[in-house]
Structure 1
Amino acid sequence: MLNSLPFLKEGEAFPDPSSGPKEGLLAWGGELSVSRLRTAYRSGIFPWFNEGNPVLWWSPDPRCVIFPETFYFPKSMRRFTRRYTVHFDEAFGAVVALCASRPSTWITPAMQEAYEALHVKGMAHCVAVREKGELVGGVYGVCVGGIFCAESMVSLRPNASKVALWALFNVFNRGLVFVDAQVPNPHLMSLGAQLMPRDKYLDYVAREKNNPCGVGV
């Protein structure tokens, strides 16, 4: 399959995602540098691959997104916002490591290092969820203007990752348009996610990529 895809040499440009296959696999190879990742996200592309495989670059059609106004967080869940505390950009590496600790993770050590470098440059952010000081969940991702491209979420306690999303929409919202959840699954759809055609998603990226980050304190 890879033989039929473009191979990216270091510094080589990405293929146009708008003309890519619907499943989204655009190219392989290249490096996980800050500049490469910045270009990828600002082009509607993200890396996704398993340990031992080459770097794979994706832009699926459709895209799974969650708008603030459609995020489903019932009143019965609000008690968890009092049980936990939320913190923006606290212990970024620990949140990524917690996500990577799950079985069958795709978050390799190289990926962890790459996103920590993005965080240092102010492009990657996280919400840490704590209970009595202990890190029990969170979410991390990359900001493209008002789009928060969520890379991974994790819960060690009930609904901790949902509280992290709630915090993005309700506590740390500084112009958040939507959370990009990339590919759908039943859990995301139960939270109010919807499918957006890739062309529409790329239009949003083009409008937002030069705007200030939509989340923060």
Structure 2
Amino acid sequence: MNWVILKSESQPLPPVEAADDEGMLAIGGELTPSRLYEAYSKGVFPWYSEDMPVMWWCPDPRMVLYPSKLKVQKSMRPLLNKKEFRVSMNTVFEAVIRKCAEVERPDQDGTWIIDEIVQAYTAWHKLGFVHSFEAWKGERLVGGFYGVRIGAMFYGESMFAELPNASKYAFIRGVNWMETQGIQLIDCQMETEHLKRFGAELISRSEFILQMKRAQNVEIPNWTELEEL
């Protein structure tokens, strides 16, 4: 497979239909805000390891979650009822993305959230496109997740937990809040059993792009900082 090599920032990403069977679309370029915006607005995301060039992906099929179809496991309901954790938004973004990078994942050798990713998404966060949801136990940050928002479209990126159920709690509260804000679709990227338990499902890439474009064109209020959802 001869992937498209991005040689300059002015060179656009190729059409998503040009991706290979695994979903890889292009190699190279930099994680500038303009390139990231172009990528996400087309349904493309970066995923690569340290000491490698940036790799751009658009898999088929695509795992998504419709906020109205969120499934809450029975074990989580007592925790939600007694408000086991406090959930905030955008109060400690860099701490969340760095903790996501530190999580050991049995199915991965190392982390894809390398320092270049941390710096790029932190800069994009300051421009209002990337958001963190944080779970607190007292004054301690114990879980959370982050992702990208364009219009009424949210692209989930990664999560972490330092106490049992903390990331699940933040995710449930975050998705419930997103639904009240008008989010229509959450991109979960790759299929995992963990996300399927929340109600995520697979749709074709073509259907994903269609629904994504529709959601991106919906205007909803900006997300700033909330001490509690």
TM-score range for the pair, normalised by the shorter chain length: over 0.9
Distance 1:76 1:17 in 2: 39
Q: In the alignment, is the contact (CA less than 8 A) between 2:185 and 2:212 conserved in 1?
A: no
Task: Tell me: CA distance 1:214–1:185, structure 2 relative to 1, closer, same or farther (3 Å).
Answer: farther
Residue number in structure 2 paired with 1:198? 205
Give the superposed CA RMSD.
Answer: 1.7
Deviations 1:11-65 (A, max 9, x none): 2100000342342100000010000001100000000001111100000001111
Q: Which runs of 5+ in 1 are unaligned?
A: none
> Within the alignment, does 1:91 sit opposite 2:105 as a pair?
no
The structural deviation recorded for 1:68 is 1.6
Asked if 1 retains the 8 angstrom alpha-carbon contact of 2:152 and 2:183, the reply is yes
Which is worse superposed, 7-16 or 167-176?
Answer: 167-176
- C-alpha separation in 2, matches of 1:190 and 1:27: 31
Q: 2:142 aligns with which of 118, 136, 140?
A: 136
Assess, with a 3 A threshold, how the Cα gap between structure 1 residues 79 and 67 changes in structure 2: closer, same or farther.
Answer: same
How far apart are residue 194 of structure 1 and its match? 0.2
Residue ranges of structure 2 left out of the alignment (5+ in a row): 105-109
Contact 2:18 2:25 in 1 (8 A): no
Cα distance in 2 for residues equivalent to 1:117 and 1:24: 26
Q: 1:214 to 1:158 in 2, by over 3 A?
A: farther
- Read off the aligned partner of 1:98 and give its amino acid letter: K
1:69-122 deviation digits (Å, cap 9, x = unpaired) = 222113431232311000011100000011011232110000000000110110
The DSSP-based 3-state class of the residue aligned with 2:51 is coil
1:63 — aligned with what?
62
* 2:15 aligned with 1:16: yes
Letter paired with 2:19: G
Q: TM-score, normalised by structure 2?
A: 0.88
8 Å contact kept, 2:152–2:217: no
Show the counterpart of 1:113: 119
Q: Deviations over 1:136-170 (max 9, x none)?
A: 11010101222210110111111111112212222
> CA 1:211–1:54 in structure 2 vs 1: closer, same or farther (change >3 Å)?
same
**Aligned with 1:5 (options 3, 6, 25):** 3
CA gap 1:129/1:214 in 2 versus in 1, 3 angstroms: farther
CA distance in 2, matches of 1:33, 1:19: 22
Distance 2:77 2:174 in 1: 15
Match of 1:150 among 146, 156, 167: 156
Q: Equivalent pairs: percent with the same residue?
A: 38
| Alignment partners' CA distance in 1, 2:159 and 2:221 | 18
Contact kept? 1:175, 1:214, Cα under 8 Å = no
What's the CA shift for 1:206? Answer: 1.7
Tell me which stretches of 4 or more aligned residues in structure 1 moved more than 2 Å. Answer: 18-22, 78-81, 208-217
The verdict on how the C-alpha distance between 1:87 and 1:146 changes in structure 2, with shifts beyond 3 A counting, is same
